[in-house]
Amino acid sequence: MPPDSFNLLDEPWLVVRGPGGETTRMSICQTFKAAHQLTGLAGDLPTQEVALLRLLLAILYRALPVPATAEDRVEAWERWWKADELPAELIDGYLEAHRDRFDLVHPAVPFMQVATLSANKTSGLGKLIADQPDGEQFFTTRAGVGLESIDLAEAARWLVHVHAYDPSGIKSGAHGDPRVKGGKGYPIGIGWAGWCGILLPQGRTLKDTLLLSLALNLDALAGASRDEDRPVWERPPSTAAPERGHEEPAGPADLLTWQSRRVRLVRSGDRVTDALISNGDPIHPRNRQRLEPHSAWRRSLAQEKQHGGTVYMPRSHDPERALWRGLPGLLPQARPTGGGASHEPAASLAPGVLEWIAELVDSAALPATLPVQLRAVGVVYGSQSSTIASITEDGIRLRAAVFASEDLRSLLREMVASTETAVAALRGLAGNLAEASGERDTTEGRRERAGEAAYAELDRLFPPWLDRLTPAADLDDLARSWQDQVRSALVRLGDDLVRSAGRPAWVGRSVGGPGSSRHLDSALAARWFRAGLAKALPAATPAGLPPHPTDPIDDSEGED
């Protein structure tokens, strides 16, 4: 007999990690009560952990009283932060008021599903389980028996994931959805979180992580907007059709639980054997920065030409670029002071949650020296966003002071920029050595490999240096220390390139067109390289290095 109830408030379905790294399952209520003893959530995929954490945050946004004024919000947050545990009484009271809506198998209002959803055919478990790749099944444990059925706990975790990250593409056409044509639901876009390069600040415990990620500086948390900001379990039950009058999310709780899909899990006894996944409520990503706290934003001139006004789009993560290299565009900008004429809109905006942490540090509600692990998770979608091609994950630890101190942020921006310029010099060396060897057709490949080797080394060196950025640090010493490390690493790699170029590059050759030809060999290429490093890394320039010589060949071509 199938179970009459599987209430996520009581049933152990969330995978949590204990202080020793061990994992176990807990219910929602148990997880909140034990959050101060747990180190975090665990999941089948990083995106699943993100989706589940954001589900818990949606609960906190509604369960905890958010004061109207900024000062009172900081004081309330500080009380929760300093308390030994999360305010269980408030959380339990809120959840009890909505108990029925958290029942995964409720006959009328199953959690995040439509009980009456039907279509000409179902979607299959492969569309529910995101670690089941489309196409050839080379690297998966899901083939065969692994795709026949899953337990209710796992099904619940993937259900939350589907609403957050489901690819676009044609879906099963749900009966009663006016958008269906020929039995098919045509693409309406990916799940909301898939648009975003999610950035989550993590602390020592799950309690710390939840509170650090709970940005209270969002406009929608005050006044009438807060009453309208209702998650899915506070809204009328969904039907197959889009929800009328709810075309726009009202706040973070609404957005974090946005129903991008209509879903019905198909059970056999206490196992889920199939799923029907159809189109839900579409959502566009433009200008959601006041509602979405966990993504950075980039200004889009193309979108502005099409829609008018200033348009910001979520900034995704570059899978080819380590997180530290993009930090300057993720950190809060300097706060404007004084009056005067309005300025051009910023090219990028920091995630609201990092602006909130900066506010907490400024108010002394959060220690400036607190280590914060910044975790980045994103999805790369395949052709026409119809499949999940890959998942990106990275992380870096930095002190809370970096979010609040413009001096530390300026230093960080300067060091990252100088590093990019220095690596470009190494890439230039590799290209010039190829020219000197008479192997011009290999130039770009050599440049790329040199850049990859440089960042492989610097990716290892940067995190320990970043951890030294504290309010009491000597900024000149920090700049000198980092540029010394960069110069040492790149000089070593440059020397290796010169040696490996061998005799052909040492002898050199005449390069350039008629009337502008000149002799290029490895000695001259190395001299240009050292001069490029001196220009890029002034704090590390050794005494006696000659000034910048004649312009090198291909000085800027292909630079990062």
Supply the DSSP string of 179-200, one letter for each residue: T-BTTEE------GGGGS-EEE
- The pLDDT score that the predictor gives to residue 1 is 52
pLDDT in tens, 401-420: 999 999 999 999 999 999 99
Decide if pLDDT at 550 tops 70. no
Structural contact between residues 314 and 295, judged by C-beta atoms closer than 8 angstroms: yes
How many C-beta atoms surround the C-beta of residue 60 within 10 A?
21
Q: What percent of the chain has pLDDT over 70?
A: 91
The amino acid sitting at 259 is Q
pLDDT in tens, 466-479: 999 999 999 999 99
> Which helix or strand (DSSP H or E) is residue 125 part of?
none
Please report where in the chains the tokens 């850049």 appear, as a residue.
Answer: 451
Which CATH number fits the domain 406-540, given the four candidates 1.10.1040.10, 3.20.20.80, 3.40.50.300, 1.10.132.100?
A: 1.10.132.100
Please report where in the chains the tokens 């979108």 appear, as a residue.
Answer: 303
Which of 344 and 123 is assigned the larger pLDDT?
Answer: 123
Residue 338 pLDDT class (50, 70, 90 cuts): low
- Cα–Cα distance measured from residue 40 to residue 226, given in angstroms and rounded to the nearest whole number: 28
CATH 1.10.132.100 maps onto the chain at 406-540
- The pLDDT score that the predictor gives to residue 549 is 44
Structural contact between residues 212 and 202, judged by C-beta atoms closer than 8 angstroms: yes
End-to-end Cα separation, the chain, in angstroms: 61
- Cα–Cα distance measured from residue 392 to residue 491, given in angstroms and rounded to the nearest whole number: 31
Structural contact between residues 300 and 360, judged by C-beta atoms closer than 8 angstroms: no
- The pLDDT score that the predictor gives to residue 433 is 94
Which of 406 and 512 is assigned the larger pLDDT?
Answer: 406
pLDDT in tens, 176-224: 999 999 999 999 999 999 999 999 999 999 999 999 999 999 988 877 6
Please report, to the nearest 10 degrees, the dihedral formed by the alpha carbons of residues 144, 148, 152, 154 taken in order: 20
Residue range 54-68: average pLDDT? 96
Nearest to 310 by CA among 327, 286, 326, 293: 286
DSSP code of 145? G
- Give this prediction's pTM: 0.91
Give, to the nearest 10 degrees, the angle between helix 443-466 and helix 406-436: 150
Please report where in the chains the tokens 């999310």 appear, as a residue.
Answer: 249
Structural contact between residues 172 and 122, judged by C-beta atoms closer than 8 angstroms: yes
Residue by residue, DSSP assigns 210-238 as: HHHH-----GGGSHHHHHH---GGGSPPP
Structural contact between residues 258 and 283, judged by C-beta atoms closer than 8 angstroms: yes
307: its two tokens: 């829609």
- Pick left, alpha or beta for residue 230 (phi over 0 → left; psi -120 to 50 → alpha; otherwise beta): beta
Buried b (16+ CB within 10 A) or exposed e, 8-42: bbebebbbbbeeeeeeeebbbbbbbbbbeebbbbb
3-state secondary structure of 399: strand
Please report, to the nearest 10 degrees, the dihedral formed by the alpha carbons of residues 263, 269, 274, 275 taken in order: 0
- The rounded mean pLDDT for the chain is 91
Q: What percent of the chain has pLDDT over 90?
A: 83
pLDDT in tens, 228-244: 999 999 999 999 999 88
pLDDT in tens, 276-321: 999 999 999 999 999 999 999 999 999 999 999 999 999 999 999 9
Structural contact between residues 525 and 429, judged by C-beta atoms closer than 8 angstroms: yes
Integer Rg of the chain from CA? 27
pLDDT in tens, 78-91: 999 999 999 999 99
- The pLDDT score that the predictor gives to residue 541 is 66
- The pLDDT score that the predictor gives to residue 559 is 40
- The pLDDT score that the predictor gives to residue 139 is 41
